[in-house]
Structure formats: C-alpha cells, structure tokens
Amino acid sequence: MVFYLVFKKERVWGMCRPLSDWERAVEFHGHACPGLAVGYRAAQIALRELKTERAQDEELVAVVETDACGVDAIQVLTGCTLGKGNLLYRDYGKHVFTFICRDSHRAVRIAIKATAWQQEETYRELRKKVFGREASEEEKALFQQYQEQRMRYILEAPEEEICTVQRLEVEPPPKARLFDSVICSVCGEPVAEVRARVKGGKPVCIPCADEYSRGW
C-alpha cells in the first residue's frame, strides 16, 4: 500500500483524480505528520471493526482523549465532528479513541501503544531544537527525515504493533441538543442558555461573568 507524504491533484485529460482518504486527511490538516497518521489508522480500524461507513449525521460517535493532530484524520474519515455533536473530547492527554455505533450499540476502543511513538535520543534533541526555533537548516532536514520514517512506520506497521483494539457493548451518549439563546447583559452578544451565567440578576456569557475562584 502506498501512502503519500506530499501530494498534489494529478490531472488526467483535464480532470482531477479523486484524493485518497490519506490525502484528504493531509489536505484538511495542512501537512502530513506522525500524529495525523495515528488518527488515520485508528479511524480505519474503527470503520472496519464496526462495519460502518462515514457518518452523515450522528450514526457514529467518536470519543477522543486528546486534541492532537490525529483527531483531524478521525473527523475526515469517520464524519465525527465537533459541529455535528458526534465528536466528544475528553481532556485526558491520551491517544485513545472510542467509536460507538448508535444503532447496534457496538463500540471499539483503540489505544495507541508507546511503541508507535518510540523515539531515539537524537530525535528528541532535534525536536527540542526545531520547536524551540534553534535548529539549523541541516537539523531541520534531519528532523523531517525522522518524522517521515516514523509516519511511514505508523501507516504501514501491523496494527498489533502500534495499538490495542478492544471491542465493547455500550450505551451511546445522548444526541447533540439545541438550546435557546439569551443576550449577555454586558457585551450584548447571544449565548446558549445552558452556558449563560447570572450576574446581578441578569444573564451574562462566561467571558463577562468574572467568575469567582479560589483556584481549587
């Protein structure tokens, strides 16, 4: 199987060929990287295990435990998005993704193994320099080589090497709800009623609430 690190729309007799799923994920995300590859593999496995296709509405739900790059690939391949309400974010800082079919109540939990991220000391040092904007052009090029090698491994390795797959039977979460809006008495902007606060007996949005907190 061939995966594209850099892609372009090829024109054949004046026509653009359809992009592959990987290319669509890269186009949506903006670049190819190991993190995107993780979400791509997780989405592929989920669609296969649940015997389903990309969600048009809320037929499929994704619960993601990270806000990293891979979530973009999950949105593209599975159709689980924040806007539709079938992408639920849990701020756990883990590359763990659970996918749930509403009709069947079948689910699959995919946890990425540490081996997918195994890094050499040279890579870690380069990464610090690149993200710290201290890397030379040669170091940037070497870092990109490491990134491409790691990405190819994630995309092509047997799935048992990079993740654990657990099949579940669960109750799907409630569907997304629509809420009435109220007008913030401070800024005058509409805010979902369920997210409004009360200040001086009047509705306010969260940024205007100046909520009291002792930091607990």
Give the whole-angstrom CA distance, residue 114 versus residue 106: 26
Domain-terminating residue out of 169, 186, 205: 169
Contact 62, 86 (CB under 8 A): yes
- When divided into structural domains, the chain yields a total of 2
Range of the domain at 57: 11-169
DSSP 213: -
Q: Which residues contact 15 (CB under 8 A, 6 or more apart)?
A: none
Same domain, 58 and 102: yes
Same domain, 85 and 164: yes
Note the helical H segments in 79-205: 121-131, 137-156, 159-162
| Dihedral (CA of 168, 169, 171, 177) sign | positive
Per DSSP, the residues of 43-78 read HHHHHHHTT----SSSSEEEEES--STHHHHHHHHH
- Listed as own residue / partner, the contacts of 204-212 with beta carbons closer than 8 Å and 24 or more positions apart are 208/184
201 lies in some domain: yes
Would you say 22 and 48 are in contact if contact means Cβ atoms under 8 Å apart? no
Note the pLDDT of residue 188: 95
Judgement on whether residues 84 and 102 belong to the same structural domain of the protein: yes
For residues 28 and 79, give the distance between their C-alpha atoms in angstroms, rounded to a whole number: 13
Query: Do residue 162 and residue 203 come from a single domain?
Result: no
Measured between alpha carbons, how far is residue 37 from residues 71, 118, 149, 150, 172 in Å? 10, 15, 12, 9, 27
What is the reported pLDDT for 215? Answer: 52
Structure confidence at residue 106 (pLDDT): 94
Residue 101 lies in a domain: yes
Report the C-alpha gap between 80 and 88 in whole angstroms.
Answer: 9
Domain identity same for 196 and 136: no
Q: Which pLDDT value is given to residue 115? A: 86
The one-digit pLDDT tens for each residue of the chain (216 residues) are: 334 444 444 444 455 778 899 999 999 999 999 999 999 999 999 999 999 999 999 999 999 999 999 999 999 999 999 999 999 999 999 999 999 999 889 999 999 999 887 777 777 888 888 888 888 888 888 888 889 999 999 999 999 999 999 999 888 888 888 889 999 999 999 999 999 999 999 999 999 997 655 554
Q: How far is CA 109 from CA 49, 132, 154, 167, 190, in A?
A: 10, 35, 18, 6, 38
* Under 8 Å between Cβ of 144 and 130: no
Quick check: is 138 in a domain? yes
The pLDDT value given to residue 15: 57
